[in-house]
Structure 1
């Protein structure tokens, strides 16, 4: 999910010390091998390293005013740095390992992690840091970080990381491994680059493998792209299925991620349901197999994206969201797009990272996948062609918050409740770090809008939370005094979501609803890989909490909680069970149809066994048995028949 104010909810890898990681010795990894006096520096002479580009590089012992805490009793630098000294790399310069750090091995993931800092006296604003792993002098992995005070707060260090993975019989095997560290300076600014605590590890590769089949015939699907996306690491990997429908996603980064099958429109299939195999949580070095993705046919949905003058817009991102499917694509040179959608309700809209735009998305209902749907043109407005609405965010009490303010404009009458979280999208939006004036532009002038004040927070793991703090309704384009009020600090709501077996439910939407109103959402977020969640700055009041998940349906915490200003309330654990036909799907006899039953069925199918999982009683455990459970409790969650 993109980091932006959006009501569609759809740390770097640190392997040093992990049980699956073997540290590779890096000589003078924290630049402590020179003897320096406080504040002294040593130029162009770093034990274990050589300078390979013009510029300045050396070792420095920073004084207190440069990095707070560096002159403390233990002599430690702050943050992720180590020891009392660091390497400085100024101007445009690079240092590289003076000798080989070892030979490349097959079937191994190499991860480089380096602490980089921002000094008070010479902050490297406007410049960039690059770290790289080289094999026989060729860069195999690199990462560049462009420096501002928002990226690295002054006087602190953060980690940056890069990695590459070798295969079973890799052409790079036996090659010489080295590391390079680079500072590139903005020509208009003078900053000093700081590097420390260089860590290189060899990690058992993480992978996922499985098969992709037609959900009706069980025939394998060849040539379909399967992707793996980790929001936490901003890491992407892909593979294409072979003639047997098999795929392997290798060299993955651990933690929660989404796996998605992305068939071409011409195949007739829709992308896999976002929850069928949506979120996986992999341990470092885990080699998971037996993943099953079954694709269904989808209706052909097509349309155009145009500007307010009726001209097509090429290469703009079109997104679709809904309970049964989500995805994205770019328009062609004529502003045309087409996709496949299974039965369900969807919202189609557009997104641009380059400029402020506004558009009224299209609502699409698919009842019969054999019938094509042509969507009305989606018209995109810009700041120049759309209307504006302005006002102020008022925080007269100077109340604190965790995150920043977001102002979102929706079509008037949009309801923010648990059932709509899948598919509502703002027409336009704006963000403010602190209270003050705002303006939302690019609004179509023929609509009326509801405005919401949100507090947006993003955790270190990329989990986003929102609290809804104020609203102004039925606002006409051109209004100039649409003020939104932040009237208290609010409190924090925390808890966890588990299934009936006590396992974490990852990626569930959790919403808190004000019991004094009409059940509209006062805050919402997603659960993390441990099934836990935190929602910040929820206004003081009484609430009920509910969890929503496409595989599990809907479950409530069952009790009212009271949020107080500055306080934290723990809702406890929300327990979720699969919906469905218990007689057909309850294979282990515990009274509920849940993942244990699905796992038993999947194991039986993969092993071609014949036992209780033979639900259609044809003598074998096959795709029809898988589909029988799928139809009863995967494809029709609790709310689907309500």
Structure 2
């Protein structure tokens, strides 16, 4: 005799024509910050008919998202009525007992759009392993915690963000550990001030936006030491740096070492709070 360890969550993933999609990753997850974060998660893939079933889900409040990387379809989040591409508008559902069955948590995915470009330094040489994110937001100075797409530049500096739905995106590099200044994409060249960024418009499913290039500069460094009231160093403490020019825009982060020392790199000119 088998025992039930938790609830069951199921649904169907289809394309815009209603055809079931096979091998689409699905994640049922908890988050402490709307649908954009992930704490505890449970993963599965759809079968040949596009059906997924996640078993042994404990009690709690959950979100669901698709993981459509390399599938040719959009990444979306579950919501009542229809799935959505913006993690901020994802909806939750409740599991209150181990014998609960949640059905029809369905998604309808569109053909993915892409945003691509190249990352260069100020001498025109390609930069590898720079994180690039596209965010489906109205304000270029607001950033989702996970983004709608997140990739790294390859050895030749090229990047392609996939799985994007129709919408307005802002694209940025995130270089806190590389020494390069974080920048946003703009028509005339990448910019350091978030308010100067330009949007990238995805108007139709399957649209490909190219040449969203960046030219990065090395930034300054802020260093310090964190101690307790007795002057003893505190290790493994996160130190964050903010620029208030764009509304508490986080510009850097570092963790203290065994001696309490930290270095925040890749900083532009400006006035900051730590």
Normalising to structure 2: TM-score of the pair?
0.59
Give the structure 2 partner of residue 327 of structure 1: 41
1:522-543: CA deviation from partner (whole Å, max 9, x where unpaired): 2345667887655432333222
Distance 2:103 2:214 in 1: 39
User: Residue 484 of structure 1 is aligned with which of 214, 217, 225?
Assistant: 214
Which consecutive residues of structure 2, in runs of 5 or more, have no partner in the other structure?
A: 34-38, 79-89, 186-196, 203-207
Whether contact under 8 Å (2:235, 2:256) holds in the other structure is: yes
By how many angstroms is 1:518 displaced? 1.0
Counterpart of 1:425 in 2: which secondary structure?
coil
1:529-577: CA deviation from partner (whole Å, max 9, x where unpaired): 88765543233322223xxxxxxxxxxxxxxxxxxxxxxxxxxxxxxxx
User: Residue 516 of structure 1 is aligned with which of 238, 242, 245?
Assistant: 245
Distance verdict in 2 for CA 1:388–1:527, change over 3 Å: same
1:59-102: CA deviation from partner (whole Å, max 9, x where unpaired): xxxxxxxxxxxxxxxxxxxxxxxxxxxxxxxxxxxxxxxxxxxx
Whether contact under 8 Å (1:452, 1:469) holds in the other structure is: yes
Counterpart of 1:482 in 2: which secondary structure?
coil
Give the structure 1 partner of residue 54 of structure 2: 337
Whether contact under 8 Å (2:176, 2:264) holds in the other structure is: no
1:565-620: CA deviation from partner (whole Å, max 9, x where unpaired): xxxxxxxxxxxxxxxxxxxxxxxxxxxxxxxxxxxxxxxxxxxxxxxxxxxxxxxx
- Residue 265 in 1 paired to residue 6 in 2? yes
RMSD: 4.8
Distance verdict in 2 for CA 1:400–1:351, change over 3 Å: same
Distance verdict in 2 for CA 1:320–1:427, change over 3 Å: same
Distance verdict in 2 for CA 1:530–1:395, change over 3 Å: same
Distance 2:226 2:101 in 1: 39
Q: Which has the larger radius of gyration?
A: 1
Distance 1:357 1:496 in 2: 47
Give the structure 2 partner of residue 364 of structure 1: 91
User: Residue 432 of structure 1 is aligned with which of 153, 156, 165?
Assistant: 153
Distance verdict in 2 for CA 1:473–1:542, change over 3 Å: same
By how many angstroms is 1:441 displaced? 3.3
Whether contact under 8 Å (1:415, 1:520) holds in the other structure is: no
User: Residue 25 of structure 2 is aligned with which of 316, 321, 332?
Assistant: 316
Whether contact under 8 Å (1:405, 1:454) holds in the other structure is: yes
Give the structure 2 partner of residue 470 of structure 1: 184
Distance verdict in 2 for CA 1:430–1:368, change over 3 Å: closer
By how many angstroms is 1:450 displaced? 1.8
Counterpart of 2:130 in 1: which secondary structure?
strand
Listed as ranges, the matches of 1:136-535 within 5 Å are 264-266=5-7, 303-307=11-15, 310-314=19-23, 316=25, 318=27, 320=29, 322-323=31-32, 325-331=39-45, 333=47, 334-337=51-54, 339-340=57-58, 342=60, 348-351=64-67, 358-362=74-78, 363-365=90-92, 369=96, 377-379=106-108, 385-397=111-123, 404-413=129-138, 424-433=145-154, 436-444=157-165, 446-455=166-175, 457=177, 468-471=182-185, 472-477=197-202, 478-486=208-216, 488-494=217-223, 504=234, 506=236, 510-524=239-253, 534-535=263-264
Which consecutive residues of structure 1, in runs of 5 or more, have no partner in the other structure?
A: 1-262, 267-299, 459-464, 546-642
Listed as ranges, the matches of 1:603-614 within 5 Å are none
Distance 1:525 1:416 in 2: 21
Give the structure 1 partner of residue 87 of structure 2: none
Distance 1:352 1:529 in 2: 40
By how many angstroms is 1:397 displaced? 4.1
Distance 1:301 1:529 in 2: 44
Counterpart of 1:470 in 2: which secondary structure?
coil
Distance 2:249 2:150 in 1: 20
1:394-430: CA deviation from partner (whole Å, max 9, x where unpaired): 53345998x732221121237877xx87xx3232233
Give the structure 2 partner of residue 58 of structure 1: none
Distance 1:375 1:495 in 2: 53
By how many angstroms is 1:435 displaced? 7.1
By how many angstroms is 1:448 displaced? 2.0
Whether contact under 8 Å (2:68, 2:163) holds in the other structure is: no
By how many angstroms is 1:519 displaced? 0.8
Whether contact under 8 Å (1:388, 1:443) holds in the other structure is: yes
Distance 2:40 2:151 in 1: 24
Distance 1:318 1:531 in 2: 38
Distance 2:181 2:64 in 1: 25
Listed as ranges, the matches of 1:78-157 within 5 Å are none
By how many angstroms is 1:368 displaced? 8.6
By how many angstroms is 1:520 displaced? 1.8
Work out the number of aligned pairs and report it. Answer: 233
